[in-house]
Structure 1
Amino acid sequence: MSDITIDETRRHVLGLGCERGTPPAEVMALAAQALDAAGIAGMALAAVASIESRRQEPAILAVAAHFSVPAVFFDAARLEAETPRLKNPSEIVFARVGCHGVAEAAALAALGADAELVLGKIKSRHATVAVARIGLHKA
């Protein structure tokens, strides 16, 4: 598990993927849609997670800042290790970044082996978002 703090109120991670230069408003709207679909409040987030190549992406950093949580990043090899647990693996994503999914894989990677996807990847024009959680007894 990465260096995020999990407690009884913050045990979800929002996984984010986006094209370079995606407007922050587009990613924020998609994040809000995902949280609504998953039935969780933003205050339930422990972190946002993405691929290392997006470490400086303004849209991802804006979402983390909005929810006052850390942004954590993983290299493509670490995200690829999550492929067996993905609901929506993609050969197109693999061809572009070297792993079969960013949003789902990053959310799972942030929480470790006992995490589960609450919401598989949803898409906007330039971004993807997924939500994972871990039970307290497993943290």
Structure 2
Amino acid sequence: MSEITIDETRRHVLGLGCERGTPDGEVRALAVEALRAAGISGAELTAVASIDSRRQEPAILAVAAHFSAPAVFFDAARLEEETPRLRNPSEIVFARVGCHGVAEAAALAALGMDAELVLGKIKSQHATAAVARIGLQKA
């Protein structure tokens, strides 16, 4: 995945989901809360990830810019592949967007099969966030 760089200091992905038009401040506050709960700083993010239907969502793009991390997006079919690894799968989300989770699934999808959730989905009124990380192989 050429959009993200994983190294010793940047090996976490913040997954985000939100309703269309969610205020930037709400999503940013949730993102900050998620990082605090995961015990990491924004400097440790290699990307912010979401579903491709939010590719132009101002709040998600604002959070990526806030943390100086690239925004990466996945289609619902790719996110649905992550369902067995989700802590909080949702039939409601599936009915709306075609996958059982956005925040958790996007964070995991961005890092691949060796990723693990550090923080399962947390919610604000109109948004969700989760954090995944990948361990680095010692050569």
TM-score, normalization: structure 2? 0.97
Separation of aligned partners in 2, 1:55 and 1:2 = 17
Q: 1:78 deviation in Å?
A: 0.1
State the SS of the aligned residue for 1:78: helix
Alpha-carbon RMSD across the aligned residues, in angstroms, is 1.0
Distance, in Å, in 1 between the alignment partners of 2:34 and 2:10 is 16
Tell me if structure 1 keeps the 8 A contact 2:3–2:70.
no
The answer for unaligned runs of 5 or more in structure 1 is none
Displacement after TM superposition at 1:2 (Å): 6.1
Does the CA contact (< 8 Å) of 1:121 and 1:128 recur in 2? yes
1:67-82, aligned counterparts within 5 Å? Answer: 67-82=67-82
- The separation in 1 between residues aligned to 2:58 and 2:78, in whole angstroms, is 22
Aligned partners of 1:135, 1:30: CA distance in 2, in Å? Answer: 25
User: Where do 5+ consecutive residues of structure 2 fail to align?
Assistant: none
Amino acid at match of 1:118: V
Over 3 Å counting, the alpha-carbon distance change for 1:12 and 1:36 in structure 2 is: same
> How much does 1:110 deviate?
0.1
**TM superposition score normalised by structure 1:** 0.97
3-state secondary structure, aligned to 1:136: coil
What code does the residue aligned with 2:70 have?
P
Aligned residues: 138
Match of 2:5, SS state, is coil
- 1:3, CA displacement in angstroms? 3.1
- SS of aligned partner of 2:48: strand
Aligned-residue identity in percent: 86
What residue in structure 1 maps to residue 58 of structure 2? 58
Partner of 1:10: 10
Show structure 1 runs of 4+ deviating over 4 A: none
